Amino acid sequence: MMLADDCSISEDEASTIRAEADRLLRAAGAVGRFPTPVDEIMAAAKIQVVPIALDEGYLAHVRHKAAEAGRALLSALSKVWGVFDPRARVAFIDPDTPKEKLPFLKLHEGGHAVLPWQSIFGIFEDCRKTLDPETKQVFERQANVFASELLFQLDGFTAEASQSAFSINVPLRLAKRYGASAYASLRRYVSHSNRTCVLIVLNPVVLGEPFGFSCSVRRVISSPSFKRQFGRLSWPTAITPDESLCHMVPLHKRMTGARKVKLTDDNGDRRAFIAEAFKTTHQVFILLHAVETNVHPLILPARPA
């Protein structure tokens, strides 16, 4: 199933989250420091970060009462990367989380603590009440936006990225500087770009019949300009050798260099794009940006006096 883009939160929510992130960045003295000092930001927010660890004594106690409950706890802990305890103000993080994902994950959990309207999590923990699933999803997207604003120091990343020619290498280089993952950096690069560009995030390649290979589409992130011009474009649920973008998938290498592709905009016009791709253990990224058409000014000869 394709996931919703974090940009789908409202403008009001986005600007409020940004203001909270700005306040916290300043409180932590984190502006202009690299990589972004995530642990100092969490400390400034008075959030303790603790690795999730199983207490064997507790597990034995739970199992003694009901074996099923013990199984459910183990299963829950195997699924959880991060969980925020609002009452203790503790962010529990899976210690096996890949190192490059840790900063974003910590800040995401921090979002649940800092965004005041998310205090609802701590209020009804003991009751037999349910939070509307759509609202829960919105809260998770808001926490992602909060983490991204902090990690990329508001406009800092975008301003630095705009100093270089548009390329997949730019966010990959800046990822190291800001202490972010390739995934988070590529998403930020596209979602905050003033270019007409789009990022297709694919799940890892699955080799085999009947297609030879297949990668399911996990998420598509568009720049505002791309959304305006290609809003009606539909994406396949998977890239297979039958799809036009199949040649972009780096099967036996890490990257696919720049190639020209064409996409049809909402007016039915075919537009030229440059596509590049990059692969990590967990995802394949295809970045497309529109070829800028330079309109040269028509210079008329001077009229004779």
Partner 1 sequence: MTPPRPKDELPPEIGKYLKELRNSRGFSLREVERLTDGKISNGYLSQLENGEIARPSAIMLHRLAAAYGVDYAVLMERAGFVSESEAPANRAATSVLGELTQEEEEQLLNYLGYLRSQKSKK
Interface with partner 1 by CB under 8 A: which residues?
Answer: 10, 12-13, 16, 55, 58, 62, 68-69, 72-73, 75-77, 79-88, 90, 92, 105, 108-109, 112, 116-121, 123-125, 127-133, 135-136, 138-140, 143
138 contacts: CB under 8 Å, gap ≥ 6: 9, 13
- Rounded to a whole number of angstroms, the minimum distance from the CB of residue 21 to partner 1 is 15
**Closer of 136 and 262 to partner 1 (Cβ):** 136
Contact 220, 214 (CB under 8 A): no
**Closer of 70 and 236 to partner 1 (Cβ):** 70
- Rounded to a whole number of angstroms, the minimum distance from the CB of residue 31 to partner 1 is 24
Report the interhelical angle of 11-27 vs 133-151 (nearest 10°). Answer: 40
- Rounded to a whole number of angstroms, the minimum distance from the CB of residue 181 to partner 1 is 14
- CA-to-CA dists, residue 252 to 199, 207, 257, angstroms: 21, 11, 13
**Closer of 122 and 236 to partner 1 (Cβ):** 122
Contact 97, 51 (CB under 8 A): no
Contacts 24+ apart (CB under 8 A), 22-28: 22/149, 22/154, 24/110, 24/114, 24/150, 25/150, 25/153, 25/154
Cα–Cα dist 236/216, whole Å: 9
**Closer of 85 and 276 to partner 1 (Cβ):** 85
46 contacts: CB under 8 Å, gap ≥ 6: 89
- Rounded to a whole number of angstroms, the minimum distance from the CB of residue 164 to partner 1 is 32
- Rounded to a whole number of angstroms, the minimum distance from the CB of residue 217 to partner 1 is 18
- Rounded to a whole number of angstroms, the minimum distance from the CB of residue 221 to partner 1 is 19
Residues in the chain: 305
Q: Which two tokens stand for residue 64?
A: 């003694």
**Closer of 91 and 217 to partner 1 (Cβ):** 91
**Closer of 113 and 275 to partner 1 (Cβ):** 113
**Closer of 87 and 262 to partner 1 (Cβ):** 87
Cα–Cα dist 95/104, whole Å: 14
- Rounded to a whole number of angstroms, the minimum distance from the CB of residue 120 to partner 1 is 6
Please give the single-letter amino acid code of residue 108.
H
